[in-house]
Amino acid sequence: MVAAGWLAKLAAVRFLDGRPPVELLGGTLRLTLVENPGAFLGLGRSLPEAARRAILVVGIGAVLLGALAWLMAARSLRPAKTLAAVLMIGGGLSNLLDRLPDGRVTDYVVLSAGPLRTGVFNLADAAILAGAIVWMGSSMRREPSADPSSGA
Protein backbone atom coordinates (compact mmCIF):
# COMPACT_ATOMS: atom_id res chain seq x y z
CA MET A 1 0.00 0.00 0.00
CA VAL A 2 2.79 2.41 0.86
CA ALA A 3 4.50 1.88 -2.51
CA ALA A 4 1.20 2.26 -4.39
CA GLY A 5 0.47 5.49 -2.52
CA TRP A 6 3.90 6.88 -3.40
CA LEU A 7 3.65 5.87 -7.06
CA ALA A 8 0.21 7.46 -7.34
CA LYS A 9 1.51 10.66 -5.72
CA LEU A 10 4.49 10.80 -8.08
CA ALA A 11 2.20 10.31 -11.08
CA ALA A 12 -0.17 13.02 -9.82
CA VAL A 13 2.67 15.50 -9.36
CA ARG A 14 4.19 14.60 -12.74
CA PHE A 15 0.98 14.85 -14.77
CA LEU A 16 -1.13 17.40 -12.85
CA ASP A 17 1.30 20.02 -11.53
CA GLY A 18 0.64 23.39 -13.14
CA ARG A 19 -2.24 22.05 -15.21
CA PRO A 20 -5.99 22.58 -14.96
CA PRO A 21 -8.08 19.75 -13.45
CA VAL A 22 -8.67 16.72 -15.67
CA GLU A 23 -12.28 15.51 -15.78
CA LEU A 24 -13.01 11.89 -16.66
CA LEU A 25 -16.17 9.81 -16.90
CA GLY A 26 -18.32 12.83 -17.60
CA GLY A 27 -16.96 14.73 -14.60
CA THR A 28 -17.58 11.88 -12.14
CA LEU A 29 -13.82 11.63 -11.59
CA ARG A 30 -11.77 14.80 -11.38
CA LEU A 31 -7.99 14.84 -11.04
CA THR A 32 -6.49 17.99 -9.56
CA LEU A 33 -3.32 18.58 -7.55
CA VAL A 34 -3.75 19.97 -4.02
CA GLU A 35 -1.19 20.18 -1.23
CA ASN A 36 -3.12 19.57 2.00
CA PRO A 37 -1.51 20.82 5.23
CA GLY A 38 -4.31 19.32 7.33
CA ALA A 39 -5.67 15.86 7.91
CA PHE A 40 -8.78 14.30 6.35
CA LEU A 41 -10.54 16.96 4.23
CA GLY A 42 -8.17 19.63 5.56
CA LEU A 43 -9.08 19.12 9.21
CA GLY A 44 -6.58 21.03 11.37
CA ARG A 45 -5.07 23.06 8.53
CA SER A 46 -5.56 26.30 10.49
CA LEU A 47 -3.53 25.06 13.48
CA PRO A 48 -0.07 26.57 14.00
CA GLU A 49 2.65 24.65 12.14
CA ALA A 50 4.21 23.26 15.34
CA ALA A 51 0.86 21.93 16.59
CA ARG A 52 0.04 20.40 13.19
CA ARG A 53 3.42 18.66 13.08
CA ALA A 54 3.05 17.41 16.64
CA ILE A 55 -0.39 15.94 15.95
CA LEU A 56 -0.08 14.83 12.32
CA VAL A 57 3.50 13.55 12.37
CA VAL A 58 4.41 12.62 15.94
CA GLY A 59 0.91 11.69 17.13
CA ILE A 60 -0.16 9.81 14.02
CA GLY A 61 3.28 8.17 13.82
CA ALA A 62 2.89 6.86 17.38
CA VAL A 63 -0.63 5.58 16.66
CA LEU A 64 0.58 3.82 13.50
CA LEU A 65 3.52 2.26 15.33
CA GLY A 66 1.18 1.00 18.04
CA ALA A 67 -1.31 -0.33 15.47
CA LEU A 68 1.46 -2.12 13.58
CA ALA A 69 2.77 -3.70 16.80
CA TRP A 70 -0.77 -4.78 17.71
CA LEU A 71 -1.33 -6.28 14.24
CA MET A 72 1.93 -8.22 14.37
CA ALA A 73 1.08 -9.57 17.84
CA ALA A 74 -2.53 -10.47 16.97
CA ARG A 75 -2.80 -14.22 16.56
CA SER A 76 -6.47 -14.83 15.90
CA LEU A 77 -7.70 -12.04 13.63
CA ARG A 78 -10.04 -13.11 10.88
CA PRO A 79 -8.67 -12.48 7.36
CA ALA A 80 -11.10 -9.60 6.76
CA LYS A 81 -9.93 -7.80 9.92
CA THR A 82 -6.30 -8.39 8.96
CA LEU A 83 -6.93 -6.93 5.51
CA ALA A 84 -8.75 -3.97 7.05
CA ALA A 85 -5.89 -3.28 9.47
CA VAL A 86 -3.28 -3.56 6.71
CA LEU A 87 -5.22 -1.10 4.52
CA MET A 88 -5.64 1.43 7.33
CA ILE A 89 -2.05 1.17 8.59
CA GLY A 90 -0.59 1.19 5.07
CA GLY A 91 -2.66 4.20 4.04
CA GLY A 92 -1.73 6.03 7.22
CA LEU A 93 1.96 5.26 6.75
CA SER A 94 1.82 6.41 3.12
CA ASN A 95 0.31 9.75 4.17
CA LEU A 96 2.77 10.09 7.05
CA LEU A 97 5.75 9.60 4.74
CA ASP A 98 4.26 12.11 2.27
CA ARG A 99 3.89 14.65 5.10
CA LEU A 100 7.44 14.36 6.51
CA PRO A 101 9.34 16.66 4.11
CA ASP A 102 7.08 19.74 4.18
CA GLY A 103 4.15 19.01 6.48
CA ARG A 104 1.73 18.52 3.59
CA VAL A 105 0.01 15.58 1.93
CA THR A 106 -0.52 15.48 -1.83
CA ASP A 107 -4.19 14.98 -2.74
CA TYR A 108 -5.46 14.62 -6.30
CA VAL A 109 -8.88 12.92 -6.63
CA VAL A 110 -12.42 14.34 -6.42
CA LEU A 111 -15.48 12.15 -7.01
CA SER A 112 -18.85 13.56 -8.07
CA ALA A 113 -22.38 12.25 -8.30
CA GLY A 114 -24.61 14.97 -9.71
CA PRO A 115 -24.29 18.00 -7.43
CA LEU A 116 -22.51 15.99 -4.71
CA ARG A 117 -18.71 16.12 -4.55
CA THR A 118 -16.18 14.64 -2.22
CA GLY A 119 -13.30 16.66 -0.87
CA VAL A 120 -9.94 16.15 -2.54
CA PHE A 121 -8.28 12.93 -1.42
CA ASN A 122 -5.57 10.47 -2.45
CA LEU A 123 -5.04 6.71 -2.80
CA ALA A 124 -3.83 6.39 0.80
CA ASP A 125 -7.03 8.08 2.04
CA ALA A 126 -9.08 5.66 -0.07
CA ALA A 127 -7.20 2.71 1.48
CA ILE A 128 -7.87 4.02 5.00
CA LEU A 129 -11.58 4.42 4.21
CA ALA A 130 -11.77 1.00 2.54
CA GLY A 131 -10.07 -0.56 5.56
CA ALA A 132 -12.55 1.11 7.93
CA ILE A 133 -15.49 -0.14 5.84
CA VAL A 134 -14.10 -3.69 5.72
CA TRP A 135 -13.46 -3.58 9.49
CA MET A 136 -17.01 -2.42 10.25
CA GLY A 137 -18.51 -4.90 7.80
CA SER A 138 -16.61 -7.79 9.31
CA SER A 139 -17.63 -6.65 12.79
CA MET A 140 -21.30 -6.84 11.83
CA ARG A 141 -21.05 -10.49 10.79
CA ARG A 142 -22.17 -12.95 13.41
CA GLU A 143 -19.58 -15.38 14.62
CA PRO A 144 -20.54 -19.02 14.09
CA SER A 145 -21.47 -20.74 17.32
CA ALA A 146 -18.84 -23.13 18.67
CA ASP A 147 -21.58 -25.50 19.87
CA PRO A 148 -23.98 -26.50 17.05
CA SER A 149 -26.51 -27.79 19.61
CA SER A 150 -26.76 -24.44 21.40
CA GLY A 151 -29.42 -23.20 19.00
CA ALA A 152 -27.78 -19.76 18.74
Choosing from 17, 98, 107, 147, the catalytic residue is 107
Task: Using alpha carbons, select from 67, 69, 73 the residue that is nearest to residue 128.
Answer: 67
Known active-site residue 107: yes
Are 84 and 138 within 8 A, CB to CB? yes
CA 106 from chain centre, in angstroms, equals 12
Classify residue 55 by its DSSP letter: I
Q: Residue type for 112, please?
A: S
* List 17, 98, 102, 125, catalytic entry: 125
Hey, which residues are catalytic here?
Answer: 107, 125
